[in-house]
Each structure stands twice: as C-alpha cells, then as structure tokens.
Structure 1
C-alpha cells in the first residue's frame, strides 16, 4: 500500500471530528446554516487541493516517469467539487436578499464582487514574478495580458473570472425585476447561454480555456431555486427522507455511469480528431457532468440533514476558502515536476506525501495572510 493512502482516513477525520449524528426521526436543523455551509466549503477546498495535486502525480496524461498514483480518484472530479461552491453561492445570495435589508443596493458590487476580483488580481500578480524567474519569456504584450487578466497567470484562477459575472447577473435581475420568477428566468437563461457558448468553443480558443470553465456553474441556479423554495422543499424531504435517501444513492450511481459513458463515448475534445459533431459531443458530455455533479451535491446535502459537521479547523477553513482555493495552486506548480506544464519547477518534490504536505502547509499560511490583506482592503473601501 502506498503511503499517500493515509490521506483518505485523514480527510474523513477532518470532516467528522466533532460531528453530531441525528437519531431516526430527528434532523440537523443547521444543515443549511451559514456555519455548516462554510464548513462544507472549507472541506471541499481541501479536496480541490488534492484534486490539483493528483493531476500532477496520478493523472493518466502525465509522463509515466512522474506518475505515482494513489490520488487517482481525485483526478477528474474537480468540477463536482467546484459545484459545491456554485451551489452555495447561489443559495447564499438569495438567502441574503431575503434576510438583509436593502441587500441589492449600490454597494453590492463594492462589497460582494469587488473583493473577489481584487483577490483574483492579487494572486495573479503573485504568480507573475515566478513565471519570469523560472524562465518564461514575457513580452510587453504578454505582460499586459497577464496583468489585465486576459491571459491567466494563475492557471487555477478561472473560477474567479466567471463567478463575478453571475453575481452581477443576479444583482441586475433581482434588483430591477419585481417578479422573482422572471428574475430567476433571466439568471437561468444567462447560465444556459454561457454553457452553450462554452461548448461551441475549442479548448483555449479565446478567454475560455475548456470545459472546466462552464461544467459546474449550473449549480448556481440550482442554489437560487433551492433557496427560493426551501420552506416547501425541506418539510417534504423530511417527511419522505428514507425515500429520498434511497433515490439519492440510485441517482448518484446512475449519474456516475452516464457521466463515465458520456466522457468515454462523446468527449469534450472532438476538435483533436476533427469530429464533425464536436459541439454536440461536448453538450452530451456536459449533460453527463451536470447530472453527476447535481447528484453528488443533492446526496451530500441529504446527508447533511442528518449530520451536523463543524470543528475549529473547518471553521477556520471556511473563513479562508477562496484565498486557499486561489493560492495553493502556486505551491502545486512550484514543487511538482514542472511549473504550469511548461517551465522547470522551483524544486521537484518526488515524495508524493511530502508534496501534498508542503502544498497544504504553505497554502494554509498564504491563504491566512491573503485573508488579512483582503479584509483590510474591504474595510477601507466600504467605509
């Protein structure tokens, strides 16, 4: 057995330490509370770190001399993990709209969108000197592209490139439409339109890099819908909980099989063999991704209704989730076999378990420092 397998019981301990399990007939009334949602996102951020580490050690496409294995299960599930973020974003926006007076005022962009964009640029600029020092030839034009965000200096920064547009869409729709169903329809149309546009583009053909830019954003709308009808959905699910739990297991299993079938038989990469129906292939594959990610998120929150998670570490991670998500990738790139798959890395850590530990520790420290900086910046601009 490879030493890296120790990570699996560790992540279970991290998740379940301090957890409270509800008896038959009772439920976790804090399943969708801010604290639990933050704890879930903090935990998912750790899994995303393992996903990025796995792509540098256990992915089928890397050179065999760098392949180690052991983290294989994380290689292709990044979109599922990000789906938790998009769901929580949509859910949180609508809940805030209903509970905070004048939530969609003129300061919404300053308070909710600007901090995300500012943090994205800060991390982008942190990546830039490492690109230069490790040998990338950066022309004036490329420097402008990196500084402006037209090209991503941080290869994992795509999420913070797109989520502000969906926040803005929510803001415009729900502020200026008196009918919430029409507002929801606008957000839904924007989301579907974005995904259809994404599937019409080849990889790196423009700003959108590939399917990871659009194959998890549908849960943003699902989060809004759930928040809108939560008062009706939750009592119904509680009443038929066992039925939904069994259905959830079946849905995850069935969606997983279809996801695997769609990726194997259709693929996002039709342009690599000049497939005449490349766009259709992508859309069928996207359907598989959408169903599987929805199934996993749905089943996870079913479990959350019976298990209250939360401990000091998850609470801490919940406060630095975005910062950790953005900055840990720097250390993945610095200490894997190559920096951004093109340059020699700062130092190649051959031990997979040491590689994961270094990325985790440096990622945590850097994310905490970034959160301090971001909080100070937010206080100054919102005075």
Structure 2
C-alpha cells in the first residue's frame, strides 16, 4: 500500500494548481503574461521538474539493474524539456518587454540579469562539490578543477544556468549596439540558432553541451522575444478567435508529444552509438519534433491562462524561489538515490518513492530559502528591497 501512495501526486498537483483559481467572466480576459501569473505557474512547474528528476532516478527505462525500477512517476520522466520551455520563453519575453518599458534598462543589465544566474551556478557548484567529498567520491586535482569550473557539471542540473547568461549577453549586445529593433531581435535569434547548430553537431559527452537537453528547448528564448515584439498584434487576434486557438492548442499537445517520441525512435539523438553518417541530421530532425511540442505547450498554457487566473499563497511563494529550488533540490535527489550522480553509493537511499518525494521537497524548500538569502547578501539586493519597503511605507 505504501508504494501506491506515489500515485497521489496526480491528484495533489491539480489541487495545488487550481486552488484559488478564478475563471474570467464572459467577455473578460485575464492577463496570462502578467508577472504574478507567470511566476505562479513557474512555481508549479518547478515542483513538476522536481518530480521529473526523481522519476529519472526511480523509474526511467535506462536504469540498471532493472530491479531498481519502482513505478509511479513515469509520466514525468520524458517531459523535463517541455517544462523548462516555459521558463525560457519568459526569459526572452521578459527581457524584451523590460527593455521597452523600463528607462535605461540596459544600464546595469549584466549585474541585474547575468550576475545572479552566474552566482547561482557557482554557489550550488561549491555546495555539490562539498557534498561529493563528504559522500566519499574520489577525485584528483584535474577532476576537482573540472567540477569547480563547471566544465564537468558538479551539480548535474546546472545546464540551464550555464547557457542562459550567454543568451542574455547576446540580447544585451544586440540591443546595445544595433539601433533597429527588428535587426536586434534577428541577431539574438541568430545567436541562439547558432548555439543549436553547434549543439546538434556535438556527440554526447561528460562535459559542456553534453546532450540534447542542453539545446532541445532553448528556441523558446527567441520565440519569447518575437512574441513580445508583436504582442500588440497577436493578442487581439487571439481574443477574436480564442476558442478555435485554445481548443486546437490543447488538443494538439498530446499528438505532438507522441510525434516527438516517434521521432526520437525513428531518427535518434544517439546516432553516434551506431556510427550513423547522418547523425547530425538525425538530431536536427528529432529536435524539430520537440520544437513543435514545446511551442504548443507554452501556447496552450498561455491561452488557458487568458481565461483562468491561477494563484494561491503556496504557489506565489514557490514562484519567488524557482531558480533556487530548481538548483538545490537536486542535492537531495542525489543523497536519497541509489548512487550520488552515478558515482559512489548515496548515504541515505529511500526506496519508497512517495517518501523520497516528501523528503526532497521538505529539505529542498528551506534550502532554497537559505540559498536565496545568501545570494541576496552577496549581491546586496536584500538590503535594497528592505530600504524600498521602508520608503514606500514612509510615502
């Protein structure tokens, strides 16, 4: 009976998402692009990403020996890139909207946008490095330097915070030095496309751009920028034909996902395993199928958000910790797994998947809070926020 408890997450998640949700009245619209709405949904997706990572450790088809497989979270195993696509869309969307609505937005851009992400990468790298030493992983000096530099991922979930600063820098240089808005958008898009072309040409490895998850949803960054640029034309059109777009988008998610699964079987990201001469083309054809499903997923979520306002205290709170929770929860995923990131035995393996989920969340959440406070102290942002609150109260 205890093993079956894990299936309760499929009932708990909809409750978490829809608790406090308010449907819009007939003829009225909710702003699904508002910051409070996107952060709430990102808070929900962060929980799903945690389940994705735990699913990879408990019921993924590639686990060996097969006796390690414990069913329950199969749904989450293959959809990590779909979940992250929403974040990348709003990374691009938010950067473009801020550039056009905030005065002198590019002044201090690197400090405000890039530095916090880089800090998050290396703070969690150090935490994971210490954890690896404590659990008994043996490493020589070159190996330690590879970990500490993140050339070899010490925290296995940090690909996102490695590539995102480069996309932000591409945005910054494009809009700083190119006067025409459309050309700046094209330049940023070209950079991301070049990254994808490079990524698809690199075989699976143990270092940077080590596999398809490094690039199979990054196209959503320029799509977010392009959407923001033409939002004033797109949104009225969507409202005019809302139910057509909403029904088609929602119904298309699953068929497009099935097509992506077929493409992975037919073409394969792993063509190099059997020395296919067309392995790069195989990857790009497979990628194309995932471009379809990620774009439609984000589109469907935003369309549904135009008619339903989601939000409750828990998700609003999670929405303030998305980056920190994303980066730190993996520490406990590894500590409670069979092995720590595929190396030495983990010190506290938990076989009951439901207890595994509870333990990861229960320790990951306070750790994310502490990590956020640490980042605020280093960056000096916590003090500034407190001063702004005092000023607002005084005024």
Residues 344 and 194 (structure 1 numbering): CA distance in 2 closer, same or farther, change over 3 Å?
same
Q: CA deviation at 1:380?
A: 6.5
Alignment-derived partner of residue 49 in structure 2: 48
Question: Which one of the candidate residues 2, 7, 10 is aligned to 1:8?
Answer: 10
Give the number of equivalent residue pairs.
381
Per-residue displacement from partner, 1:266-308 (whole Å, max 9, x unpaired)? Answer: 1100111111211111011101111111111111111010110
Within-5 A mapping of 1:151-166: 151-166=152-167
Compared with structure 1, are the counterparts of its residues 369 and 140 closer, same or farther at alpha carbon in structure 2 (3 Å cutoff)? same
Give the alignment of 1:51-90 within 5 angstroms: 51-63=52-64, 64-90=66-92
Q: Which runs of 5+ in 1 are unaligned?
A: none
Cα offset for 1:112?
1.1
2-side partners of 1:192 and 1:307: how far apart? 34
Name the counterpart of 2:229. 228
Conserved 8 A contact 1:110-1:382: no
- CA shift for structure 1 position 247: 2.1
CA distance in 2, matches of 1:268, 1:48: 22
Counterpart CA distance in 1 for 2:355 and 2:137 is: 27
What is the root-mean-square deviation in Å for CA atoms of aligned residues?
Answer: 1.5
Of 8, 15, 26, the match for 2:28: 26
TM-score by length of structure 1 reads 0.97
CA-CA distance at 1:75 after TM superposition: 0.4
1:143-182 equivalences in 2 (<5 Å): 143-182=144-183
- 1:103 alignment partner in structure 2: 105
Shift of residue 250 of structure 1?
4.2
Taking the aligned partners of 2:76 and 2:382, their CA distance within structure 1 comes to 39
**Cα 1:366–1:231 shift into 2, 3 Å:** same
Post-superposition Cα deviations, 1:138-182, rounded to whole Å, max 9, x if no partner, equal 111111121222211001111100000000000110111111110
Equivalents in 2 of 1:214, 1:285: separation in Å?
12
In the aligned structure 1, how far is the partner of 2:12 from the partner of 2:206? Answer: 40
Shift of 1:381: 11
SS at match of 1:120: helix
How many angstroms apart in 1 are the aligned matches of 2:26 and 2:6? 36
| Contact 1:174–1:180 (CA under 8 A) maintained in structure 2 | yes
Pair 292,380 (structure 1): closer, same or farther in 2 beyond 3 Å? closer
* Superposed displacement of residue 136, structure 1: 1.7
CA contact (8 A) 1:267 1:285 kept: yes
Is 1:240 the counterpart of 2:245? The answer is no
Shift of 1:348: 0.6
Look up the SS of the partner of 2:188 in the other structure. Answer: helix
Q: 1:86 to 1:194 in 2, by over 3 A?
A: same
Specify the alignment match of 1:376 in structure 2.
Answer: 377
The residue aligned with 1:125 is 126
1:298 aligned partner? 299
Partner of 1:336: 337
3-state SS in 1 of match to 2:348 = coil
- Structure 1 residue 317 and structure 2 residue 299: aligned? no
Please state how far the C-alpha of 1:209 moved relative to its aligned partner. 1.2
Q: Secondary structure at the match of 1:136?
A: coil
Q: Provide closer, same or farther for how the CA distance between residues 73 and 251 of structure 1 changes in structure 2, counting only shifts above 3 A.
A: same
Checking the alignment, whether the CA contact within 8 Å between 1:111 and 1:382 is kept in structure 2 is no
Note the C-alpha offset of 1:205: 6.3
Aligned to 1:285: 286
Distance 1:380 1:243, change over 3 A: closer
Q: Quick one: distance in 2 between partners of 1:280 and 1:226?
A: 28
1:183 lines up with 2:181 in the alignment: no
Q: Is the 8 A contact 2:32 2:309 kept in 1?
A: yes
Structure 2 unaligned segments of length 5 or more: list them.
Answer: 385-395
Question: Aligned partners of 1:112, 1:352: CA distance in 2, in Å?
Answer: 37
Following TM superposition, by how much is the alpha carbon of 1:374 offset from its aligned partner in structure 2, in angstroms? 1.0
User: TM-score if structure 2 supplies the norm length?
Assistant: 0.94
How big is each residue's C-alpha offset from its partner over 1:316-370, in whole Å with a ceiling of 9 and x where there is no partner?
A: 1111100000000000000011110121001110111000000011110100111
Aligned equivalents of 2:125, 2:177: Cα separation in 1: 33
